[in-house]
Chain A
Amino acid sequence: GAGVSQTPSNKVTEKGKYVELRCDPISGHTALYWYRQSLGQGPEFLIYFQGTGAADDSGLPNDRFFAVRPEGSVSTLKIQRTERGDSAVYLCASSLSSDTGELFFGEGSRLTVL
């Protein structure tokens, strides 16, 4: 497709389970970002990839959160031992380069931890 694609769109899981969220960026975009948006809040930065490497992971809240982008395209956000406080919409965005500030966002993956 033409835009950023995120799957699943909705995920309900139980406390303590492991979750993977996938992001397929726009073709040719080298920069990829993960954000988290809680209800009534703006998106909160988690991690940013330039190519295959994580250029800035300062927003990851703790070591239960991890993200990869092994081939410089698709990225997976992994959450271990989920907690109820992890419930949020996880947004992925991509951009042609990291310089412009113009990010193209997907519709997000809504995670609910029961």
Chain B
Amino acid sequence: GNSVTQMEGPVTLSEEAFLTINCTYTATGYPSLFWYVQYPGEGLQLLLKATKADDKGSNKGFEATYRKETTSFHLEKGSVQVSDSAVYFCALRNRGSQGNLIFGKGTKLSVKP
């Protein structure tokens, strides 16, 4: 079946540190991949996405590259800020499944000043 596995949190970093949150997936066919973020007290929002192999999604200094050979979509940021503290969810959607996003369990990031 289709699934997403994320590194377990919480992750605690100091401001300006490098961030990696690992995400691997299992899917039939060629899914689209997403990172969603949930800031405290807010709803989930799309952070970035990639729809085919070798695509790189980027937004707000975050990046993730769709790696078909390793079935991975790791999230990275070169220098985190306190305002990046949130829960990050990796997700996939198989082609033809329309709205059905499959999410990982989420990784909580805390950035200390």
Residues of A within 8 A of B (CB): 3-4, 31, 33, 40-45, 48, 50, 55-56, 58-59, 91, 93, 95, 98-99, 101-108
Q: Which A residues are in CB contact (< 8 Å) with B97?
A: 56
Q: Which of B13-21, B44-52, B75-83 contacts A (4 or more CB under 8 A)?
A: B44-52
Say yes or no: A40 contacts B99, CB within 8 Å.
no
Distance in angstroms between the alpha carbons of A93 and B104 in the assembled complex: 17
**Interface residues of B toward A: which range?**
20 to 34
Say yes or no: A55 contacts B99, CB within 8 Å.
yes
Chain A nearest CB from B37 CB (Å) reads: 11
Distance in angstroms between the alpha carbons of A44 and B93 in the assembled complex: 13
Say yes or no: B44 contacts A43, CB within 8 Å.
yes
Q: Which A residues are in CB contact (< 8 Å) with B93?
A: 101
Bitwise interface map of B from 102 to 113 toward A, beta carbon under 8 Å scored 1, else 0: 111110000000
Write the chain B residue with the least CB distance to A58: B100
Say yes or no: B49 contacts A42, CB within 8 Å.
no
Chain B nearest CB from A92 CB (Å) reads: 9
Say yes or no: A31 contacts B43, CB within 8 Å.
no
